[in-house]
Structures are given as structure tokens and as C-alpha cells.
A and B are shown apart, each in its own frame.
Chain A
Amino acid sequence: MSTGWTDEELARRVAHEFPDGACVNLGIGLPTLVARYVPEGREVLFHSENGLVGMGPAPEQGQEDADVVNAGKKPVTLVPGAAIVHQADSFSLIRGGRLFATVLGGLQVACNGDLANWKIPGTPGVGGVGGAMDLAAGAQRVFVMMRHTDKAGTPKLVQECTFPLTAKACVTSVFTDLAVIDLIDGRFVVREMAAALTRARLQEATGAPLSFAASAA
């Protein structure tokens, strides 16, 4: 939607949530953008499910190390001070609550915090869940970064998920191209919205009733 934030603006907005010293996991796709926008003066440690604690940006062309990839199997770097752990320890730190947050993509988020992000019913193929269920169940905060609606304009913020769940009642906040929305006591509470938007338009694009925090314009 042209009235909304760009992916870069959104990534910057998400990165702003991380305090100095946080360890954060970024899901594949749109969330990987977030790593570029950590505010100046803050050290944030990025975790990748395949055992990287201290993941850096993509390497310069020709500088790739075939033994260093992210969750999407793309070449990445390690920051000075990075640590490598094996897969079971990597998921222990996820479920053990060491992640300040995980930033995941989403297909549907319900107002009770249910998340669906691994399977679209009716799609052919066996599908794949990867680490999504572990991250959603284990991180201290689950931030979902996604378009507000799907390509057909159907709301992705809904009363109840119709797609297979990734985890129940796990979502902390949703960051879309139109708004930042917190999940509080089973309700969608708008914290911020894109400047050119009205409350009525935002509600129209959303599949469940919105509340508005004082901070929302």
C-alpha cells in the first residue's frame, strides 16, 4: 500500500526495539533486513538457529566462507566475539529464554496472539517448519514483521487463525507496512501508524477490532 512504510523504514522501526546488549534471532526473508538498522551506540548480538551467536552481515563478494551460513543457508559473516554452538545448544538457548526477541514473518496473527507462519493450507508439497515453532515458543518476545494484508488485500491480522498454527498466544507485537500493533489481553492495540493513514482505513485492512493507544496518531 503506497500510504505505508517501506521495508527499510519498517526494518528500522523494528531494530529500534532492541536495547543495548540484546540477543536477537531474525527469521528468514523480510526480518533479515533488520540487522542493518541497529541504532548507533547499541550492541545487539544476532543469533542464527544453525548455531551462530554473533552473526554479521553478508560478506563482500569473493569473501564468502562456505562454512558460514545463516538459517536461510545464505553466506554470512561472524562478528568479532562470535560463538558457535551445536544445534541442540542453539535451540536450548532459544527455549531457555536467552533471546530478547525473535523477529519472524507471518501469514496470520490472531488477536489472542496465535501465530500461523509455516504452512498455507492447500499448497502442494510436504511443507517445512524449520525452527519457527521453537522460536515462537521460546523467545522472550515474538515480533512479527509482515505486510498488513496479503496480495489480494485480505487481512492477515485476524480474529482467529484459519491457517495451521506455529504457536498459540505467542505474539508480542506486529510490525506491518501500516502500523505497529501490540497484543495486549487478547486485543490488537495500535501503538503507531503510518502518517498518511486514518484509523478507519487501518481498521478496514484489519480482520479484528483495533484499539488505539494514546501514542497512535
Chain B
Amino acid sequence: MIDKRCASVEEAVSVIHSGSVIAVGGFGDIGVPLALCAALARLDVCDLTIVSNNAGTGENGLALLFKHHCVSRLIASFPSQAGADHFMNAWKQGEVQVELTPQGTLAERLRAGGSGLAGFFTPTGYGTELTLGRETRVVNGKGHVYEEALRVDFALVQADRADRYGNLRYRLATRNFNPVMAMAARHTIAQTRQLVALGDIGPDDVHTAGVHVDSVVEVRT
């Protein structure tokens, strides 16, 4: 029997250990698996590498991981948005190294990682300081840089609906990075607003097939 349901967020994140590379879905605070982040911050883990577009604001989500000194490295496109005080403090203290990555490159590195590719050439960032020293190639007269695929240990994602096979459906703009992160991880944990019966999410309506997902936990929000 396939049953990926977990009874609690604590149980779902208990597999995560210090030194892990973790992709966390969301754009700003939209589509961020807030309860999973909070549960992770309560674990005694450190030296995490976080892959996420932003770095959390206020006392929410990723912000808690920086507050509790869990993170040593961040791969993000826009970490320093307004309200990201816990991240900023951790960065000023020298606790966190930041790898700034253009947003589309970040998304594509995850998709490539989840697709069994080594990397790709992209025009994004060619000739800028963010790609200094990178392998380049001119294709059809246009400069490209080589970007490595990103495979991660864990992904924390947020869905609107999920079933026990781990099939996920997102709602509106909460989809953002969640599907590519679910693909890119060796172990994907989904927080869902609602657990539904098998078949309630029709085959045409599944956004992330359950084969990408290892555990689901319902968090009504």
C-alpha cells in the first residue's frame, strides 16, 4: 500500500539532518510551507544550505531558520527583501554565505536537477558579475553561460490539495517554485491545506505527480 501521509509536521521533517541541502518553495511569503519551516527550525539542526527565491520575512517561514542559526549557505535570487531582518542579521554576523542566482536560472537549475541533466547554457547573466569565471559559449551570435543543475537532499513544498499517493495540486500564484523543487529533491515533503481521497484530484488536474513526493502532511490554513 502506498501511503505517504504523515500525522504531523514534526514527523515529516524528522528525517532532515544537519548539513542538508533543502529547497523551500514559495515566492515572497506566498506558497511557502510555513508550518514545515517552523517545525524544521525547532529541530536541532545546523549548517543547512537553503535554496529558495527569498529568505523569509518577519517571524515567518525561512526567517525562523535564520533566527535559530540553522543556515550556513543560501542560494536565492532576492534574499534581502523588506522585512527579512533575521536573514540580514545572520548575514551581517557572517553566519550565512549567499550565492545570488538570477530567478529564472534558479528555477531552471532545479528543473534540470530533477530531470537528470548536468546543466545548461543560458543567455541570462552573460557578461555580468554574477557569472564571472563561468564557462561560456556563443551560440547563434548570442553569449551564453553554463549553469549547473541543482539536485537537493530535501524539498519542502506547499500544496492546496494532496492525496495519499502524494499527488499535489497548487492554488493560483502559490504554485511558483514548488513543482520544480519537488522534482529536484531526493526526498520531498509537502504541506497541504487539504488531504483528499485518491481520485479526488483527477489525473488531468494533478500538478505534481506523487512519484516526486515522499510525504504529505495536512496543515489547514
Residues of A within 8 A of B (CB): 49-52, 65-69, 73, 78, 84-88, 90-92, 94-95, 125-134, 137-138, 164-168
Contact = CB atoms under 8 A, between A and B. Distances in A.
Interface string B72-100: 00001111110000001001000000101
B211 interface: no
A118 to B, nearest CB: 9
Contact of A130 (B88, B103, B173): B103
Q: Is the interface of A mostly helix, strand, loop or mixed?
A: loop
A128 B102 contact: no
13 contacts: A49-B103, A50-B30, A65-B172, A67-B174, A73-B29, A91-B105, A91-B107, A126-B100, A131-B104, A132-B102, A133-B130, A137-B122, A167-B124
B53 to A, nearest CB: 8
A130 to B, nearest CB: 4
B19 interface: no
Given A78-B172, A84-B172, A167-B128, A131 B122 contact: no
B119 interface: no
B177 A86 contact: yes
B173 A51 contact: yes
Contacts of B111: 88
Interface in B192-210: 207
B28 A134 contact: no
Given A78-B172, A84-B175, A127 B100 contact: yes
A88 B180 contact: yes
Interface string B110-150: 11000000000011111111100000000000010000000
B172 A73 contact: no
Contact of A131 (B91, B103, B174): B103
Contacts of B172: 65, 67-68, 78, 84
